[in-house]
C-alpha cells in the first residue's frame, strides 16, 4: 500500500471521526449526570487517533512489507504474536510475585522478570509496525477477493493499531433492556475502580450499569486489543473494518439512531468479520484453521455405547436467561428479574463461565451481537432478519451492500420478505 493511499486515508479520517460510533451519545440530562461521574476517567480518542495516524504514516513511508516474500511476511506476524505471548506470561508471573504475601523482597526477586520484560517490550515495539502492515495487507487482499474493493483498493484502507483498549461503561434502565449509554473509559482502571463506578452510577440514577471489556473499536485506524490468537485477530480486524466501511454509508451513520440499527450494525460486522477472518487464515495461515468437528460413527455403531451427558451450551443457557428476564421485566417484576439473573450468574460460574455481573446492562451490550440463533439477544427479531438476509444473499459483497444502504429496521424486514433464497 503506497504512501499516497495513506494520505488519502487522512481525508477519509476527517469525515469518519464525525461518523464512527464511539462513546459520544446525544446530549441529555441522564447522559450528563453519568458523565459527571466519568469525565475524569474517559478515554481520549482524539489523542489516540492522532498518535495512531502518525504510526501508520511512518509504516507507509517505509513499506518494508513490499520487499518481503509471502513466507517472510508470515514469519514476522507469527514472531510478533510469539513475543506478545511471552510478554503476557512474564507479566502474569510479575503480578503473581507482587500479589504473593509470602514474598518480602519483591524488587530483588522480580528483577530478572522485569529485565526480561524490558527486552520483550523492545522486541514488540520493533516488530509491531511491520507485523501490522503485513496483516493489514493480507486482510485487504481477502476483502478485494470478496469483490468489496474499488479498483482492488479497500475504501477506506484497512488500518489497525494494536494497543491496550479502553473499557466501556454500559447503562440500561432497570425496567427494560436498552443501551442508554456506552462511555469509553481509560484502559488501566482497576477492578475496584470499575465496581465503584458501577455502584455510583446505579445509585445516582437507579439504573443497571456494567463496565465491560472490549476487543476492538471502530475508530480510524481501528483499535485492536493485543492478542496471541491469530484467528481472533483476523476476525476482529475484519469486524472493525466493516464498521469503518459502514460508517461511510447510511447504516453506519445511523448506528446510534435506534437499538434496532445498532443490532443491525453489530450483527452485520460480526457475520462479515467471521467470514473474512476465516478466509484470511485459510489463505495465509492454513495450519491455524480451527479443526473441523470429528466424524461421528454411523448410528447403528453407537446403539450399545452409553449415552454421555450433552456438553454445557453457554449460548443456549444465555438465550433462556434473556427470554426469561425479558418476560419478567415486561410483567414489572424488576427485583425478581435481578435476583434471577444473579442465580443464573452463579449457575454459569459453576459451569466454567466466570461472569462477574449479569444484569440488564450486560444484555443491553452483548445482545446486539446477534449472529447466531441463540444467545444474549433472546427473541430479538432483528438479528434473525440480518441472518436471514445473509442466507438469501448470493455473496458476502451483495449482503454487505444491501445492508449498508439501510437506515431503518423496516427496510430490513422488506428486504427479507422480498428476497428469495439463492436470489
Q: What is the pLDDT of residues 198-213, one digit of tens each?
A: 999 999 999 999 999 9
Could you say which DSSP state residue 224 is in? E
* pLDDT at position 29: 81
Q: Does residue 125 form part of some domain?
A: yes
Per the CB < 8 A criterion, the answer to whether 233 and 161 are in contact is no
Which residue range is the domain that position 251 belongs to?
3-288
Angle CA 262–280–60, to nearest 5: 90
Q: Does residue 323 form part of some domain?
A: no
Name which of 157, 166, 179 is nearest 248 in CA terms: 157
- Residues 163-175 as b or e (16 or more Cβ within 10 Å = b): bebbbbbbbbbbb
**Cell (9 digits) for 162:** 494494536
Q: Which residues does the chain have with pLDDT short of 70?
A: 1-28, 293-308, 419-423
How many domains are contained in the chain? 1
pLDDT tens-digit map of 366-397? 999 999 999 999 999 999 999 999 999 999 99
Strand partners, 162: 224
- Distance CA(331)–CA(146), nearest Å, equals 47
Could you say which DSSP state residue 41 is in? G
Q: Does residue 215 form part of some domain?
A: yes
Q: Judging by DSSP bridges, how do beta strands 181-185 and 167-172 pair with one another?
A: antiparallel
By three-state DSSP, how is residue 320 classified?
A: helix
Task: Spell out where 5-60 has E strands.
Answer: none
pTM for the whole structure: 0.87
Q: Does residue 220 form part of some domain?
A: yes
- Distance CA(404)–CA(269), nearest Å, equals 11
To the nearest 10°, report the CA torsion of 368, 398, 146, 6.
-70
Q: Does residue 190 form part of some domain?
A: yes
* pLDDT at position 20: 44
**Cell (9 digits) for 38:** 466519568
List of residues 6+ apart from 333 with CB closer than 8 A: none
Residue 181, H or E segment: strand 181-185
Per the CB < 8 A criterion, the answer to whether 278 and 289 are in contact is yes
For residue 221, whether the previous peptide bond is cis, meaning omega lies within 30 degrees of 0, is yes
List of residues 6+ apart from 258 with CB closer than 8 A: 409
pLDDT tens-digit map of 175-190? 999 999 999 999 989 9
Name which of 57, 59, 54 is nearest 126 in CA terms: 59
List of residues 6+ apart from 89 with CB closer than 8 A: none
Could you say which DSSP state residue 150 is in? B
Q: Does residue 270 form part of some domain?
A: yes
Could you say which DSSP state residue 248 is in? T
Amino acid at each position: 500500500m503506497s504512501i499516497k493511499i495513506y494520505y488519502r486515508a487522512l481525508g477519509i479520517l476527517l469525515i469518519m471521526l464525525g461518523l464512527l460510533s464511539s462513546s459520544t451519545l446525544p446530549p441529555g440530562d441522564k447522559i450528563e449526570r453519568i458523565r459527571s461521574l466519568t469525565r475524569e476517567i474517559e478515554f481520549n480518542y482524539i489523542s489516540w487517533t492522532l498518535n495512531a495516524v502518525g504510526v501508520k504514516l511512518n509504516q507507509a513511508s517505509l513499506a518494508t512489507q513490499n520487499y518481503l516474500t509471502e513466507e517472510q511476511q508470515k514469519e514476522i506476524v507469527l514472531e510478533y504474536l510469539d513475543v506478545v505471548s511471552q510478554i503476557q506470561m512474564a507479566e502474569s508471573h510479575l503480578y503473581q510475585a507482587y500479589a504473593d504475601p509470602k514474598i518480602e523482597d519483591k524488587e530483588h526477586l522480580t528483577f530478572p522478570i522485569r529485565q526480561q520484560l524490558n527486552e520483550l517490550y523492545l522486541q514488540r515495539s520493533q516488530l509491531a509496525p511491520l507485523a501490522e502492515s503485513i496483516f493489514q495487507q493480507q486482510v485487504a487482499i481477502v476483502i478485494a477477493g470478496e469483490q468489496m474493493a474499488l479498483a482492488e483498493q479497500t475504501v477506506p484502507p484497512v488500518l489497525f493499531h494494536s494497543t491496550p483498549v479502553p473499557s466501556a461503561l454500559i447503562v440500561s434502565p432497570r425496567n427494560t433492556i436498552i443501551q442508554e449509554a456506552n462511555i469509553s473509559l481509560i484502559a488501566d482502571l482497576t477492578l475496584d475502580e470499575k465496581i465503584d463506578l458501577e455502584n455510583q452510577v446505579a445509585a445516582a440514577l437507579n439504573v443497571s450499569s456494567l463496565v465491560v471489556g472490549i476487543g476492538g473499536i471502530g475508530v480510524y485506524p481501528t483499535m485492536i486489543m493485543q492478542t496471541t490468537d491469530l484467528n481472533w485477530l483476523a476476525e476482529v480486524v475484519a469486524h472493525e473494518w466493516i464498521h469503518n466501511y459502514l460508517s461511510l454509508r447510511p447504516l453506519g451513520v445511523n448506528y446510534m439512531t435506534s437499538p434496532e440499527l445498532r443490532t443491525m450494525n453489530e450483527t452485520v460486522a460480526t457475520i462479515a468479520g467471521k467470514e473474512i477472518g476465516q478466509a484470511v487464515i485459510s489463505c495465509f495461515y492454513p495450519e491455524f484453521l480451527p479443526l473441523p468437528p470429528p466424524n461421528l460413527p454411523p448410528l447403528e455403531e453407537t446403539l450399545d455405547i452409553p449415552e454421555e451427558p450433552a456438553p454445557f451450551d453457554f449460548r443456549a443457557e444465555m438465550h433462556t436467561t434473556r427470554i426469561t428476564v425479558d418476560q419478567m421485566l415486561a410483567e414489572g417484576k424488576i427485583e425478581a428479574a435481578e435476583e434471577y439473573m444473579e442465580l443464573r450468574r452463579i449457575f454459569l460460574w459453576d459451569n466454567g463461565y466466570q461472569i462477574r455481573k449479569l444484569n440488564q446492562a450486560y444484555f443491553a451490550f452483548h445482545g446486539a451481537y446477534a449472529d447466531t440463533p441463540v444467545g444474549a439477544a433472546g427473541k430479538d427479531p432483528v438479528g434473525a432478519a440480518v441472518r436471514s438476509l445473509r442466507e438469501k444473499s448470493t455473496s458476502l459483497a451483495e449482503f454487505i451492500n444491501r445492508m449498508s444502504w439501510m437506515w431503518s429496521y423496516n427496510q430490513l424486514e422488506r428486504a427479507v420478505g422480498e428476497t428469495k433464497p439463492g436470489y
